């Protein structure tokens, strides 16, 4: 496996916490401690514009497929709704008073899920933007939302070190997966629905069997917290981003480490905690507390 840095995007003046590909090809959005949400061109490798100003840090950005909308989750607990057709913020979703850490959508139900530090997940209708339910998932922060590719399960990564799994149809509780020893920061189902991948502050990555919800593999993955885990959309690999400033790529079939992208390995890589990843085909995008976005061409 080869990894080569192709370009980087600079312009943020504070740490970046969120990356999201637009519904339009080769457009990327980013947000963090700056006072605005930024649009970038990946094809031209340049800054396009600040989409809109914000009054609080952006911790989550989501662009639901099939809807001309973008959602930005703020540290204040608000979720801003930007309409691409009207080119303006058309609504603010108000349910939480503590930071929003993740936003995902369920295409089959046309619902939006919002996870907060208050331990709740709010469920919204994507068409009407009306609040449908709130789920009290934990007494503490919900950091990440994973939705199974067949739209039957949803998993929530919790600060209490558990992963709570629910039926997606009616949000009935299924199980609490226990094994991590510190806060779980990231969860994602693999595209083939074999595994649920979790990354934690305990520096471990765990892969859980989706059918049995039993632990299939534990990987002592990083030196410090695993901030994000992200499966490749088509290849049997997944990437992890860590507070230890490195990005690692792992095999889903053999759980082996295939690539380390870090300064120690000779790459012109991130100088501080790597916070978020995005796959744009075989291009891996990463962002960091170092205020930079980097693009890596991965050859499998």
> Residues 6 or more apart from 219 whose CB is under 8 A from it?
204, 205, 206, 207, 250, 255
In order of 47, 208, 260, 300, the CA distances from 145 in angstroms are 29, 15, 26, 28
pLDDT of residue 270: 98
Q: How high is the pLDDT of residue 22? A: 98
Query: Could you give the CA distance from residue 213 to residue 9 in angstroms, rounded to a whole number?
Result: 39
Percent of the chain residues past pLDDT 90, beyond the cut: 100
**Terminal CA-CA length for the chain:** 5
Q: What is the pTM for the complete model shown?
A: 0.98
Mean pLDDT confidence for 104-129: 97
Mean pLDDT of 135-145: 98
Mean pLDDT on 229-256: 98
Q: Which two tokens stand for residue 114?
A: 């919002």
Q: What is the mean pLDDT of residues 140-155?
A: 97
Looking at residue 193, what is its pLDDT? 98
| pLDDT band, very low/low/confident/very high, at 277 (cuts 50, 70, 90) | very high
Please state whether beta strands 88-93 and 100-106 pair in parallel, antiparallel, or not at all (unpaired): unpaired
- The pLDDT value recorded for residue 97 is 95
User: Region 24-39: what's the mean pLDDT?
Assistant: 97
Please, what is the average pLDDT of the chain? Answer: 98
Nearest to 59 by CA among 71, 47, 50: 71
**Residues 6+ away with beta carbon under 8 Å from 82:** 37, 51, 52, 69, 70, 71, 72, 88, 89, 90
Tell me the pLDDT tens digit for each residue of 175-186: 999 999 999 999
Tell me, what's the pLDDT at 210?
97
Mean pLDDT value across residues 236-260: 98
Q: What does the chain come to in residues?
A: 300
The predicted pLDDT at position 44 comes to: 98
Which residues of 126-246 form beta strands (DSSP E)? 131-136, 142-147, 153-158, 163-167, 173-177, 184-189, 195-200, 204-209, 215-220, 226-231, 237-242
Tens digit of each residue's pLDDT (9 = 90 or more) over 71-107: 999 999 999 999 999 999 999 999 999 999 999 999 9
Identify the pLDDT of residue 216.
98
Which pLDDT tens digit goes with each residue over 167-217? 999 999 999 999 999 999 999 999 999 999 999 999 999 999 999 999 999
> What pLDDT, on a 0 to 100 scale, did the predictor assign at position 112?
98
Of 178, 172, 176, 210, nearest to 194 (Cα)?
210
Query: So what's the pLDDT on residue 75?
Result: 98
């Amino acid at each position: 496996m080869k990894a080569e840095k192709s370009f980087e995007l600079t312009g943020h003046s504070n740490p970046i916490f969120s990356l999201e590909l637009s519904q339009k090809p080769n457009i990327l959005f980013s947000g963090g401690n700056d006072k605005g949400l930024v649009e970038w061109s990946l094809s031209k490798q340049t800054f396009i514009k600040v989409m809109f100003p914000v009054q609080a840090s952006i911790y989550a950005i989501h662009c639901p497929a099939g809807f001309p909308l973008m959602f930005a989750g703020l540290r204040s607990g608000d979720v801003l709704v930007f309409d691409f057709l009207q080119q303006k913020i058309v609504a603010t979703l108000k349910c939480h008073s503590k930071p929003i850490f993740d936003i995902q959508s369920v295409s089959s139900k046309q619902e939006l899920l919002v996870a907060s530090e208050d331990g709740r997940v709010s469920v919204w209708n994507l068409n009407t933007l009306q609040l449908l339910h709130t789920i009290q998932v934990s007494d503490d922060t919900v950091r990440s939302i994973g939705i199974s590719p067949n739209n039957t399960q949803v998993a929530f990564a919790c600060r209490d070190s558990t992963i709570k799994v629910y039926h997606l149809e009616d949000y009935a509780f299924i199980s609490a997966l226990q094994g991590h020893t510190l806060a779980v920061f990231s969860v994602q189902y693999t595209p083939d629905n074999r595994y649920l991948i979790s990354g934690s502050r305990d520096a471990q990555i765990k892969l859980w069997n989706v059918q049995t919800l039993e632990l299939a593999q534990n990987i002592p993955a990083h030196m410090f917290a695993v901030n994000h885990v992200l499966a490749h959309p088509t290849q049997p690999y997944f990437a992890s981003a860590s507070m230890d400033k490195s990005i690692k790529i792992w095999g889903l079939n053999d759980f082996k480490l295939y690539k380390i992208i870090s300064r120690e390995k000779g790459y012109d890589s991130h100088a501080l905690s790597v916070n978020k990843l995005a796959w744009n085909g075989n291009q891996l995008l990463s962002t960091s507390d170092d205020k930079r976005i980097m693009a890596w061409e991965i050859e499998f």
